[in-house]
Amino acid sequence: MSYSVRPASALDAEAATGLLAELHAHFDVDRPADLLRRTRRLLDSDQRHPAPLLLVDGVTPVGFATYDLSVPSTWWAGSLRISEFLVTASARGTGGGTVLLAELHEIARTAGVGLREPDQAGPEVFTTEERYIGSHVINFAYERRRAEHWTALRADAAENGWPAPRLDDRWHTELHDDPEPGHLYAEGEVPFLLLPDGRVVTARFRTIHVEEYLGHGPENRWTLALDGHELRVHGTLRIDHSWSRAENRPALAVPGDDGRLMVNYAYYDSNHFGSDSGTIDYLVDLDTSTVTRREHLTFEPD
């Protein structure tokens, strides 16, 4: 095999998509929208986020690496950090990984910075998102944990007779490079509260893009439902984000002195000014189909 290395360009879009797809498959991740986003960004390189490097056998791309390059300054020695590194399965063990890594070392030497060696010896496929998450890198470990949470919740729901949880994860399946306020990332529903009569109150969420003084990005908007009908909520409903990740299981609501049913759940949220942490009581009045909250939260400023 005759290997060379060169920067990728928009002309390499099809090959780049295939290489990215192989990297995703290696880590058991299915994110078609990310393939489209990444391919479209091949021309969006700059000094800090250079174009990906392609490992080429003759004229055929058989590997790639993405990296960040920060140059030395008064307060910083600079560095080259590899984000992703792949040699295709058919080319592994033939020296391609060594050639690609050597080119990265040469780029670092020319820039006068150090290269952080990968954790793996003689790497063929790896990512460094465990150490740092960039907008162009997927946190594969998080993706796997998230999928495992939803799989486990579906199994628990089937075993216990709870309403089946659901998730429409549009972030992974639809292309949206520049989300506008109100853009829908995901929507779903999870079992949230067990009633003494065996029925289950579910928590429905819509994850939308918000732009406000507390910060931009995805935010969950919640409603509660019983037997498929939405319950009326007094005030703004706040539920910890972990519920939308399928990390929690519903607790049994207990009758209070006033006849309402209550559960108490942990809550945490943060913004630019600080964080709210503590618990929230959710009180359900079945006679009026309403829900009220009692918050026991402490604000900690940054």
Q: Residue 250's closest CA among 196, 297, 295, 181?
A: 196
pTM: predicted TM-score of the whole model, two decimal places: 0.74
> 123-165, pLDDT tens digit by residue?
788 776 443 344 456 677 778 888 899 999 999 999 999 999 9
Query: Which domains are present in the chain?
Result: 3-127 (3.40.630.30), 163-301 (no CATH)
Q: Where do runs of H (alpha helix) occur along 161-300?
A: 170-173
> 39-72, pLDDT tens digit by residue?
777 666 666 678 899 999 999 999 999 888 888 8
Q: Which residue has the higher pLDDT, 104 or 210?
A: 104
Structure tokens at 191: 């079992």
Q: From CA 3, how far away is CA 87, in angstroms rounded?
A: 12
Query: Angle at which helices 13-26 and 32-40 pack, to 10 degrees?
Result: 140
Q: From CA 271, how far away is CA 215, in angstroms rounded?
A: 7
**What is the rounded end-to-end Cα distance, in angstroms, of the chain?**
56
Beta bridge partner(s), residue 78: none
> 99-131, pLDDT tens digit by residue?
999 999 999 999 999 887 776 656 788 776 443
